[in-house]
Structure 1
Amino acid sequence: MAKITYVEHNGTQHVIEVATGLTVMEGARDNGVPGIEADCGGACACSTCHVYVAPEWVDRLPKKDAMEEDMLDFAWQPDPVRSRLTCQLKVSDALDGLVVNLPEKQI
């Protein structure tokens, strides 16, 4: 289990324990976090699970692969450094304490 903090654009925080092996997107979806739409169900075929990771987490996460980079081009106001798709982030003990900020809207 890892404790993930999802911060809505308005500042509302959702601190959720997410089981190891799930994705950060599944943790949000399964716990009703608003703002993570996940239209493709986690297939990395849309950008509706886009978030901005907290700056201190950028270098601690696995690198983005080419498919994630391509899908981020369709996200709402992507940041070249902090934007990630939560469907591509597998939860492990190493992600305990992760903070993600939701964009104002999803496309």
Structure 2
Amino acid sequence: MDDCNPMPFITFIQPDGSEQVVDADSGASLMAYATRDGVAGIEAECGGQMSCGTCHVHIHPDWQAEVGQAQGFERNMLDWRDNFDEAASRLSCQIILTDAMEGMKVSVPNAD
């Protein structure tokens, strides 16, 4: 592994508590790596175009300040979901990974 290009790892937590760790590259969307590694519950039907909401995740409280809250159109896409959480809900297609997100935890909410 190239020390100049660290690979953040992200932990996806399923509704049943099981965890899946995904290695990712900084600069790409969280959704891209979730779909690449087959994370259950991340359908990403629109391919990251922010038009379906099927890549919805809840950001662990320890990481919410780093990631930030959904704004604008993303917030509108999430607002109609039954499992919307104002502080934690994000579309994983809108989260661009950085080295600072190494070890981040996100939960896959129950399907609507």
TM-score by length of 1: 0.92
Name the larger-Rg structure.
2
Q: Which residue of 2 aligns with 1:84?
A: 90
The structure 1 residue matched to 2:40, chosen from 20, 30, 34, is: 34
Aligned with 1:4 (options 2, 10, 20): 10
Report if aligned partners of 1:29, 1:36 keep a CA contact under 8 Å in 2. Answer: yes
Query: Root-mean-square deviation (CA), in Å?
Result: 1.2
Structure 2: how far apart are the matches of 1:7 and 1:63? Answer: 19
| Cα distance in 2 between the residues matched to 1:6 and 1:23 | 14
Q: TM-score, normalised by structure 2?
A: 0.88
The alignment of Structure 1 onto Structure 2 pairs a total of residues equal to 106
State the Cα distance separating 1:87 from its structure 2 match.
Answer: 0.4
Moved over 2 A (4+): 62-65
Q: Partner letter of residue 60 of structure 1? A: E
Structure 1: where are the runs of 5+ without partners? none
Deviation (angstroms), 1:9: 0.7
- Asked whether the equivalents of residues 2 and 95 of structure 1 are also in contact (C-alpha less than 8 Å), the reply is yes
Correspondence 1:101 to 2:107: yes
Identity over aligned residues, as a percent? Answer: 37
